[in-house]
Structure 1
Amino acid sequence: MPIQISAQYVKELRLKTGAGMMDCKKALQATEGDIDKAIENLKQKGLASVNKKSSRSTTEGIIDSYIHAGSRIGVMVELNCETDFVARRVEFQELAKNIAMQIAACPLVEFIQTQDIPSSIVEQEKKIEAGKDDLNGKSIQIQEQIIEGRIQKRLKEMSLLNQPFIKNTDITIQDLINESITLTGENIQIRRFVKFLLGEGLAKKTDNFANEVKNMIES
C-alpha cells in the first residue's frame, strides 16, 4: 500500500522540480518520502520524456534578442516549440532571453551543437593540433589520443548546447532546455542564432593623430 504523502510535501517537490502534482506525489511514494531520491526519480523520468519528445515537430516559438551593456554586442535567436500556447508562456520567453544572453557571453560559440560543425573545420583543427611542438617524441598512438581529446574539447567550445549556463554553471544549455521540455511537456529546439559585433568586418584606420600631423607638415 502506498505511503501517505502530505500536500505540503508534494508542493515542495513541485517547486523544486517544476513537475506535475501527480508526478511529484508518485515520486515521493516510490521513494518513501525521500525528496532527494524523488528529485532524482523525476529527473530520470524527465530525461526519458525529453528523448521521446525530441522528434516532435516544432513550428511555433519566438524570435528574441539581447543587447549587451554598451551596445557593442547584439544577439538574435529563434527558439521553437510545438504550440503558440507554450510560446506565450513567461517561462519559455525567459528561456529564449537566457539563451540569447548566453550566446553574447560566449565569443567562441559558432554553432548550436557539435553535429552542426562542418567536417572541413574539424579537419583544419586536427591539422593545427597535429603541428604543435608538445607532441614531438610521443608515439603515434599517444599523439592521436591527445589530438582527439583536444579536438573534442575545441568542438564543445564552439557548440552552444555544450556551454555551462552562465547563471548556473552546474548545468549546460542542453540541460536548461531539457528542464523546460519537462516543465512545458513540449519539444523545444534552438533553430538558429546570429551575433552582431560592433564594427566587425570593417577596415579600421591605423594611422594615429601624430602621424597625420607629420604627414601634413611634410607634404
Structure 2
Amino acid sequence: MNVNAELVKMLREKTGVGFMECKAALQEAGGDLETAITILRKKGLAASAKKASRETKEGLIGSYVHNGKIGVMVEVNCESDFVARNTDFQVLVKDIAMHIAASDPRFIRKEDVTEDVLAAEREIYMVQARATGKPENVLGRIVEGRMAKFYAEACLLEQPFVKDPAISAKDHISSHIQTIGENIQVRRFVRYRLGE
C-alpha cells in the first residue's frame, strides 16, 4: 500500500520515530494512524526493553516549581554525559518533574509498592467487592481490576502522562529511549506541597 507523506509526517510528530519506520508501520496498518502507533509502540517497547538492562550512571536532577506552592526534584539517569547534555533529554526531565507535580505519584514503579501497602489495598478492595453481593468466584477479578487502577494512580510509570493522557509515563519515556538510543531510568523524586 502507498502511504502519503503527510500521514508519515503526522505519525513522526506523534511518535518521534524515524521516517522509514513510520512509513513501514503505516503500510502494515493499511494507512490507519492509530494502528500504526500501536505497531510502533510494540516495536519501540521491545527496543527499549533491550536497553533497560544497560547501566545508567549519568543523568540530571531536574526541578519544577508550580505557582510557588508545589515543588519537585527528580533524578533521571541515562548512560552517557553526552545524552545528559542533550536538549531532548533535558526537556524529558523537565516534563517528568511537571508530571510529578501534577499527578502526585507515591511510587516510581509497581515493584516499588511495599507489601504492607499492597496487602492493605487488597483488603480494602476485597471488602468493597464483597459488599457488592457478587459471587465469590468473581471477587478476585474485581480486586485485580481495582489494583490495576491503584497502580495507575499511585505509580509514576503507570500513570497517564500529563501532557498526553493517551499514553502512560512509561510509554513516554520508552519513546525517548527509542529516539535517543540509550536506557533512561527515573531513579528517585521528592514532591513538596506548601503547608504539608
With the length of structure 2 as denominator, give the TM-score of the two structures. 0.82
**Structure 2 counterpart of 1:19, which letter?**
V
How many angstroms apart in 2 are the aligned matches of 1:16 and 1:157? 24
Where structure 2 has 5 or more consecutive residues not aligned to the other structure, the ranges are none
- Equivalenced residue count is 192
1:60 matched to which residue of 2? 58
Q: CA deviation at 1:29?
A: 6.4
Counterpart position of 2:117:
121
Q: Secondary structure at the match of 1:78?
A: strand
- Describe how 1:41-52 pairs up with structure 2 within 5 A: 42-52=40-50
Cα distance 1:29–1:196, how it changes in 2: closer, same or farther (>3 A)?
Answer: closer
Secondary structure in structure 2 of the residue aligned to 1:138: coil
Q: Residues of 2 paired with 1:150 and 1:181: CA distance? A: 30
1:28 counterpart (23, 46, 49) = 23
Which residue in the other structure is 2:74 paired with?
77
The Cα of 1:42 is off from its aligned counterpart by: 4.4
Is 1:102 the counterpart of 2:99 in the alignment? yes
Structure 1: distance between partners of 2:89 and 2:37: 22
> What is the CA RMSD across the aligned residues, in angstroms?
3.1
Residue 54 of structure 2 aligns with an amino acid whose one-letter code is R
* Distance in 1, Cα, partners of 2:131 & 2:143: 9
In the alignment, the residues of structure 1 paired with residue 22 and residue 47 of structure 2 have an alpha-carbon distance, to the nearest angstrom, of: 15
* Separation (CA, whole Å) in 1 of partners of 2:149 and 2:21: 40
> Which structure is higher in RCO with an 8 Å CA cutoff and minimum separation 6?
2
If you compute each CA radius of gyration, which structure gives the higher value, 1 or 2? 1
SS of residue in 2 equivalent to 1:132: helix
Give 1:27 deviation, angstroms: 5.8
Q: TM-score, normalised by structure 1?
A: 0.74
- Could you tell me how far 1:34 is from its partner in structure 2? 5.6
Kindly report structure 1 stretches of 4+ aligned residues shifted beyond 6 Å: none
- Which structure 1 residue ranges, 5 or more long, are not aligned? 201-219
Identity %: 46
After TM superposition, give the deviation of residue 144 of structure 1 in Å: 2.6
